[in-house]
Structure 1
Amino acid sequence: MFYKMPAVIVLALAAAIPVFAKDFGLPDSLAGFSLTESDRIQLHPGLVFYSLSHSSGNDQYVLSGPLTSMQDASHQMVQVNAVLDTNKDSVFEAEVENAGAIGKDNFDVGYRLVVSGFANPVVAQQVLHDLGEHANKFTIHHHSSFPGTPANQQLSVLEVIPEKFRGSVQMKLAKDQVEGVEVVSEMVARTSAVAGVNGGFFVYKKALGVIGDPAGLAIINGQLISEAVAHRPALLIQQEPQLRFEVLPDVTTQLRLQAEGRSLPVNGINREPGKVFNCGFYKEASLVSSAHDTVCHSLDEIVVLTSDYGQLPDLSPLAAMAYIDHAGQIKPVSTFEKKALPEKHLLVIATGDKRQALTRFTASSDSATMEFEVFSNGELVTIDAGTSLINGGPTLLLNGAKPVDLWQQEGWSPLHAEGVLSQDEKDDIASDPVARGKRAVFFDGWVNKRHPRTAVGIAPDGTAYFVVAYGRDPTKSAGLTIYEMAQVLSDLGAVRAINLDGGGSSVMIVNGKATGMPSDRSGERAVADALLVLPPSED
């Protein structure tokens, strides 16, 4: 059900449009979105799909300056106004904006000069030409790319009411293994799912690790697939005794090999040793903070590969290794000649200073088991055969509030971070192309500009809302900022919410078809995992 909420202004929307919104229980705060009878589909009892749309009439373009200090941006405004004032017919407006202002909070991002009022990019280009030596400081954007402006929007909402829905919601790996990617529509088709959305963040190119490796926590039916990026949130899905959803804040994992009263700490699972995408791990007792879309390097590691990994990589002759069979017996690696691990078999790889530790551990033990624990806010999380967890972030809602103060801890900080920033070329989010690669520019473009987004929110009664905002097409849908997505989920009635992977990955599949147009020019993007809604078994 959609909760009735107090009227608020959302996304700077224009006057209310819909005729049928009240009939379907849309909250007043989403009254600017249209919802007709054909836009609401009850897929099963307790499972409803809503297609929400809004037309803004905003077709303005702006010139956006680089991130800089307030003083420099003000100086740029004087220079630009001197050029604009030579044209008495000019209706353009130059204004200095605080790029770090998000809701009531302020991040140390910087300021920018924005010149608005262009009817089309041709006019903007002409003014850019008139600016002469100042022109290279500006880029042309559609006005709806920025927060607080009217925008066309397309939102897809999947409402799951656990008390009524008798199906299941499952996390699925692409091609049923860590290595590799697959489009969500294929995962939906091969599992006969009713619906599905893209899942968590993942490694998307070889320079960052194993393509398809979840960049954060992944647990499927109680089995650990990928360790957590420390202190990020995760979405928990419990299948039994009744379907249940929860957003866990501040998640960490501990992994170890256990043998005869002795244990050996393990750094990672099912990833390339030495590379940690999105960072967020401990070097001994020292934390390497999470940093989104950044690869950190760790020379001294123990990484375990399981049968979920897929085709094994070429293994470094410099690493120490141990092979553990399904019975927990430690075997010489020379006895292992398969290209993929059999079920319940493990391959342990140690690099750098950790090689001696693994050698000593295996030399004094005939058998070993892999153990792990998950913590949220420092408290142990119960994991059983019906538990799945998927990575995401930042946390959008916590106890009904937007926990903006957690975003930096979770890896979305404008400040310098360890590691090397990496961005998918298909998700060119930098707000300042000249300064691409700088952390403040990345934060500004990723967090506070509108993009396609996927998120999940949980209401007080346990109802889950899976929301996909399509974007990067100002004629159809601009997308949402992170703060705006949090507001949308709050307006739907959620009190806890988590952001999932977005950009070109964002898509919702219902009855075998995408509910909107993904932003990649090539169409639907292949991803590492998905959240699938399966029908009741009797159907």
Structure 2
Amino acid sequence: MSRRTLAGGLAVAAALTVTTLPAAAAPLSVTFPSAKFPLGDATVPTKTATAVTQGIDLYDVKAGTATDGYTVTVLMPSGRDYGMQETAQAKAAEVEALGETPSVQKVVRPQVADAPEQIVYMVRVGLWPLKDKAKADEMAKTLKDGGLKVKVDYLGDDGLKTTGPWDVKVVMIDAKTFRGSYGATLGKSVAARETVSAMAKDRNALVGVNGGFFNIHTAKNLRGEPVGLSVVGGRLLSEAVPGRSAVVLKGRTARITELKTTVTAISQDGEKLTVNGVNRAAATDELVLYTEEYGAKTPNDSGSDVVLDANGKVVTLRPSGSAVPAGMRVLHGAGAASDWLNEHAWEGWTVKVDQKVVDLRTGKALALTPDLNVIAGGVGLVRNGRVHITAKRDGHDSVNMILRRHPRTLLGTTKNGSLILATVDGRQPGVTVGANFTEAAQLMRWLGATQAINLDGGGSTAMVVNGKLVNRPSDGVERGVGDALLVLPK
């Protein structure tokens, strides 16, 4: 099915409203670009600029117009909305048997830095303007009544050519004039989820955005756990997914790199065992470290808990399934790891927990000092000024993640060390379409980033400035998330 314009042409007027900065403010070394918006038909965006504090500006950016409409997509036997050509043609035949006219659409998921392009096929039925979604719903019901699994699709979400619109919020933090610092937080505990608004309020943050992905595939009461590295105030609270992109925050500096962690338990008798995870559910035969920030009980899996004081002394051995005492850490062993603890972590002995966070670009370990914070990103987008999308390495090399448009939370750094935070709202037909990975990378380059990563997105995308949520989350309300990046006044 060909893509065609469903409404009038694109026409966006340029507008600029600026809140005047104090007269004594120094010139910014990071500024909003004057070039045309890089997505869609490359028009001049509308933007409203607001000075947040010295060295921080917030931009409300809008571009594009709505010309996409709706179609009905037939799901494949896999449950996906795409498949191989033969499968798609078979589904199209089922649609024809119901007396409707299908279209088999070839879709190219573009090549990225670490994965080749992929060609897939979709089966679509009908095409309706934005105002006629009810007609698409009627067609979907007809096909469902005929035994097909289908969904109504807004074409602006596809990731193919679009005119938008886009609703973007951008915070630019000038390295030369900003006098505060950057931090990370997992809220009141690792296990629980909280809104960015709540986490920002708790720290009196000037700006807050949601951090990395959190684990939706674990027990409900543990779903605040980050999927990837988390360091807060120099404390390792979640292990890295080796090689995944991350942002390292120290004082008022931010840089993007790839990291790995190694954690090892070393008994006073010299025996060692790898610690498989930090503050997460334990799998069979795993050794997992729990800190007091965990906020949940250790697994009740017939394993063993060894409670360590701040110096690594074994305070007590206990059955698993209890909370982490204040000021303590717990090594929990399941299966073979439980046997190791019983043999090498006797009460009164010392068990050192050696922790290393290694920067894979430099090969050097990061010093776990109180001013160090690390947040794992979802996908690398820009490296050394060029689009460099590491979707496969970062676990997101599907058609849905690379090509389709979603709300995005983006972080970039400039050549002089300034920080750029951006949210792109999406999943709001006719209002804002979000961005795919390529568009997200193009947007961050346009804003001046020489390094950039994608953080968690979708319904998690949130930006809070001076205590106010400034974007429009796609869930309609702000979602609880695992962690947040905070811009602090001191």
Corresponding letter in the other structure for 2:334: T
Q: Distance in 2 between matches of 1:131 and 1:217?
A: 45
The alpha-carbon deviation at position 139 of structure 1 amounts to: 2.8
Structure 2 CA distance for partners of 1:103 and 1:336, relative to 1, 3 Å: closer
1:515 to 467, 470, 475: 470
Report the number of matched residues.
454
Whether 2:365 is the aligned partner of 1:369: answer: no
Corresponding letter in the other structure for 1:305: Y
Q: Distance in 1 between matches of 2:156 and 2:449?
A: 26
Match of 2:304 in 1: 320
Q: Distance in 1 between matches of 2:479 and 2:294?
A: 21
- 8 Å CA contact 1:448–1:481 kept in 2: the answer is yes
Match of 1:35 in 2: 46
Q: Distance in 2 between matches of 1:200 and 1:185?
A: 16
Q: Distance in 1 between matches of 2:97 and 2:333?
A: 63
Cα offsets for 1:172-215 (capped at 9, x unmatched): 1222x212121111122222211111111113465377231111
2:135 to 80, 105, 123: 123
Three-state SS of the structure 2 residue aligned to 1:236 is: strand
- 8 Å CA contact 2:300–2:320 kept in 1: the answer is no
Match of 1:351 in 2: 334
Structure 2 CA distance for partners of 1:79 and 1:338, relative to 1, 3 Å: closer
- 8 Å CA contact 1:264–1:361 kept in 2: the answer is no
The RMSD of aligned alpha carbons is 3.3
1:185 to 190, 197, 201: 197
Match of 2:208 in 1: 196
Q: Distance in 1 between matches of 2:290 and 2:410?
A: 30
Q: Distance in 1 between matches of 2:150 and 2:321?
A: 58
Structure 2 CA distance for partners of 1:127 and 1:528, relative to 1, 3 Å: closer
1:449-468 equivalences in 2 (<5 Å): 449-468=404-423
- 8 Å CA contact 1:60–1:116 kept in 2: the answer is no
1:268-417 equivalences in 2 (<5 Å): 268-274=277-283, 299-313=284-298, 315-316=300-301, 318-334=302-318, 339-343=323-327, 345-363=328-346, 366-377=349-360, 379-383=363-367, 384-404=369-389, 406-413=390-397
Match of 1:19 in 2: 15
The alpha-carbon deviation at position 113 of structure 1 amounts to: 3.3
Corresponding letter in the other structure for 1:535: P
The alpha-carbon deviation at position 81 of structure 1 amounts to: 8.9
Whether 2:265 is the aligned partner of 1:253: answer: no
Structure 1 alignment gaps of length 5 or more: 1-12, 87-92, 275-298, 414-442
Q: Distance in 2 between matches of 1:141 and 1:95?
A: 15
Q: Distance in 2 between matches of 1:505 and 1:273?
A: 26
Q: Distance in 1 between matches of 2:183 and 2:94?
A: 57
Three-state SS of the structure 2 residue aligned to 1:409 is: coil
The alpha-carbon deviation at position 17 of structure 1 amounts to: 3.2
Q: Distance in 1 between matches of 2:420 and 2:172?
A: 5
Q: Which has the larger displacement, 128-137 or 253-262?
A: 128-137
Corresponding letter in the other structure for 2:417: G
- 8 Å CA contact 1:209–1:271 kept in 2: the answer is no
2:456 to 501, 507, 510: 501
Match of 1:70 in 2: 85
Corresponding letter in the other structure for 2:195: V
Cα offsets for 1:446-481 (capped at 9, x unmatched): 332111111101121212111111111113212111
The alpha-carbon deviation at position 101 of structure 1 amounts to: 3.1
Q: Distance in 1 between matches of 2:292 and 2:436?
A: 38
Corresponding letter in the other structure for 1:491: W
Structure 2 CA distance for partners of 1:21 and 1:83, relative to 1, 3 Å: farther
Structure 2 CA distance for partners of 1:207 and 1:109, relative to 1, 3 Å: farther
Three-state SS of the structure 2 residue aligned to 1:486 is: helix
Q: Distance in 1 between matches of 2:198 and 2:297?
A: 24
- 8 Å CA contact 2:315–2:347 kept in 1: the answer is no
Match of 2:107 in 1: 98
Q: Distance in 2 between matches of 1:75 and 1:312?
A: 51
- 8 Å CA contact 1:16–1:32 kept in 2: the answer is yes
Structure 2 CA distance for partners of 1:464 and 1:28, relative to 1, 3 Å: same
- 8 Å CA contact 1:63–1:139 kept in 2: the answer is yes
Three-state SS of the structure 1 residue aligned to 2:330 is: strand
Whether 2:281 is the aligned partner of 1:266: answer: no
| Superposition TM-score, scaled by structure 1 size | 0.76
Three-state SS of the structure 2 residue aligned to 1:121 is: helix
1:207 to 205, 219, 225: 219
- Among all aligned residue pairs of Structure 1 and Structure 2, give the percentage whose two residues are the same amino acid: 26
Structure 2 alignment gaps of length 5 or more: 1-8, 19-30, 75-80
Structure 2 CA distance for partners of 1:135 and 1:484, relative to 1, 3 Å: farther
Corresponding letter in the other structure for 2:206: V
Match of 1:288 in 2: none
Structure 2 CA distance for partners of 1:178 and 1:72, relative to 1, 3 Å: closer
| Superposition TM-score, scaled by structure 2 size | 0.83
Match of 1:445 in 2: 400
1:525 to 464, 479, 484: 479
Corresponding letter in the other structure for 1:328: G
The alpha-carbon deviation at position 64 of structure 1 amounts to: 2.6
Q: Distance in 2 between matches of 1:354 and 1:129?
A: 53
The alpha-carbon deviation at position 109 of structure 1 amounts to: 6.0
Three-state SS of the structure 1 residue aligned to 2:392 is: coil
Structure 2 CA distance for partners of 1:203 and 1:114, relative to 1, 3 Å: same
More helix by proportion, 1 or 2?
A: 1
